Structure 1
């Protein structure tokens, strides 16, 4: 069967979980959110464990069948998540997936995440056999003409009440980049809170910084370019950037790095970690640089400093938030080591 992404909520509300879900598409944000929806719905119905299979050259497909037939150590049902980087499958993959679907274990759900698959592949016998075992969810990109409607729905979901002109302005600013649009909506909620939103609010929040923006700053800090990052920090402070938004941008990346560093320490391959955290290819060198330069302890220090900044912003802690950002930048450079691991 085939499902659209907007049918997932209704599908899972019926309480029925299919043995297989094939999630196919190229739009990163929409794919990620659809996968999260499927995982969350499966967990709510008892599939609390998750085995991840990132497909790399030399992958042994028999591992998937073995995982499908094995019992969980705790007797829990599980999600078998296969991430295939290409829409084409070799013979080993085709045979294994067909064999799995011949007698799927009711205690498992197979989530197959793949790029956009063409009609020729969909019409093959082996693919149709897999689809008949479950559901194919094709994630289509948002057309540029549909972007304003998508942004409007996104805003309404988080409690914003935008004017038509405000939605149109944001759509023009993000130029079809859904991830950027999503981040700007999150930022608007942080800055403005829920309620009415007009063009002036968009212009003030989604400003075209003449020289720097907060994402550039975070990237420079993660690269270890402390001198440049400090200069950018002063520019943002002088330009009236809200510390709440900068804290959000820093915390988001540092939390991810803390988890990645721990997995790296546990022996997981860096490439697999990048897949696990869905790091875009263009940003992988930035994350790799930070992980090579810093330890898990360093990232924990940075998170604790972020907590101090949050307390200062809310007026329940001492210190200047901008001094805290300077501290984080220096720690991320690796040139200055944290000396204390407790919140004062």
Structure 2
């Protein structure tokens, strides 16, 4: 059963499941989900909590011992297992064994990082999915961030007009921890409602936060203005130009192989499968292919090579200029004059 953070409160009205798996890269939503489950469990008599980090040094027998023992002061207990980026074969097998030990006086809370599609096909993930709800927690994307902010404001007894909400979404995109802190501060000030743009601009300091992968989707969609804004913010946050070159090289290579395959008469579905393009990204790739022909892709790759040479020469400013030009290059089909 897949469960989303906004559904958790309703789900818990029917009672606790024996096991929950919370995974993803959004720390605020992950922590809030854990806190909600812990609080609910405490009201039901789960007074003892033990945490284990499933790194290579973990002795899994310690978890099994804890799961089968009860203290004099508690008849019900919570065991939390925090998974690493990758789970080796031994850890996968022991985790599946542990899931078989669940009983009514034991609540198992398992957390993990963001998982790719291959990891979600693993036996351990399937076992967790069968044992109880699986909850992915991700930062809302730009399309849904405004709605998330409106709901968060409402939880604190506040609202904002459309202009103020749009500014707040722009000012804190990708940074839920930051905007949640600001909302909590605003709630303490008993401000007139709805909040307006001048009020927010006077009281709130913007703080965007992006990761390098968030640069790719706007480029594929042709949303160049947004991509350039993300690029500039990534530089401000200290992301290295070399990392972005690596990501862009992989994306451009995939696009070029797709274009060449389409020109040779192959179907997009066949090409996407052979190139391991995730189903969730196929529509983005198709959008880019319709807008960026092969000749343009070759130009963008030449510009990327120029950025790589600038990095090798320790000319960071030049590298970032080329990266900005690459972003602009996704705008339309017009070819550009370049001097790599």
Q: 1:179 aligns with which of 171, 177, 180?
A: 177
- What are the superposed Cα offsets for residues 96-150 of structure 1, whole Å, 9 maximum, x if unpaired? 2111222313211110110012222222233312321112111122001211111
- What are the superposed Cα offsets for residues 70-100 of structure 1, whole Å, 9 maximum, x if unpaired? 11231331110111231x2122221221112
Give the match for residue 32 of structure 2: 33
Give the match for residue 47 of structure 1: 46
Number of residue-to-residue matches in the alignment: 207
- What are the superposed Cα offsets for residues 281-318 of structure 1, whole Å, 9 maximum, x if unpaired? xxxxxxxxxxxxxxxxxxxxxxxxxxxxxxxxxxxxxx
1:200-215 equivalent positions in 2, closer than 5 A: 200-207=198-205
**Residue 207 of structure 1: CA displacement?**
4.6
Go from structure 1 to structure 2 and tell me whether the alpha carbon gap of 1:208 and 1:127 turns closer, same or farther (over 3 Å shift). Answer: closer
**Is 1:149 equivalent to 2:155 in the alignment?**
no
Q: TM-score, normalised by structure 1?
A: 0.56
Whole-angstrom distance in 1 between the partners of 2:94 and 2:113: 19
Give the match for residue 113 of structure 1: 111
Q: Does structure 1 conserve the Cα–Cα contact (< 8 Å) formed by 2:48 and 2:74? A: no
Go from structure 1 to structure 2 and tell me whether the alpha carbon gap of 1:70 and 1:207 turns closer, same or farther (over 3 Å shift). Answer: closer
**Is 1:167 equivalent to 2:158 in the alignment?**
no
**Is 1:6 equivalent to 2:15 in the alignment?**
no
Question: Please, what is the CA RMSD of the aligned residues?
Answer: 2.0
Q: Secondary structure at the match of 1:113?
A: strand
Whole-angstrom distance in 1 between the partners of 2:206 and 2:46: 45
Whole-angstrom distance in 2 between the partners of 1:207 and 1:162: 17
Go from structure 1 to structure 2 and tell me whether the alpha carbon gap of 1:197 and 1:126 turns closer, same or farther (over 3 Å shift). Answer: closer
Whole-angstrom distance in 2 between the partners of 1:192 and 1:205: 13
Q: Does structure 1 conserve the Cα–Cα contact (< 8 Å) formed by 2:51 and 2:80? A: yes
Q: Does structure 1 conserve the Cα–Cα contact (< 8 Å) formed by 2:70 and 2:77? A: no
**Residue 194 of structure 1: CA displacement?**
6.7
Give the match for residue 237 of structure 2: none
| Contiguous gaps of at least 5 residues in structure 2 | 208-340
Whole-angstrom distance in 1 between the partners of 2:31 and 2:108: 16
**Residue 5 of structure 1: CA displacement?**
1.7
Q: Secondary structure at the match of 2:23?
A: strand
Q: TM-score, normalised by structure 2?
A: 0.57
**Residue 208 of structure 1: CA displacement?**
6.7
Give the match for residue 194 of structure 2: 196
1:27-106 equivalent positions in 2, closer than 5 A: 27-86=26-85, 88-106=86-104
Whole-angstrom distance in 1 between the partners of 2:183 and 2:142: 18
Q: Does structure 2 conserve the Cα–Cα contact (< 8 Å) formed by 1:26 and 1:139? A: yes
Larger radius of gyration: 2
| Contiguous gaps of at least 5 residues in structure 1 | 210-344
Q: Secondary structure at the match of 2:159?
A: strand
Name segments (4+ residues, structure 1) moved above 4 Å.
none
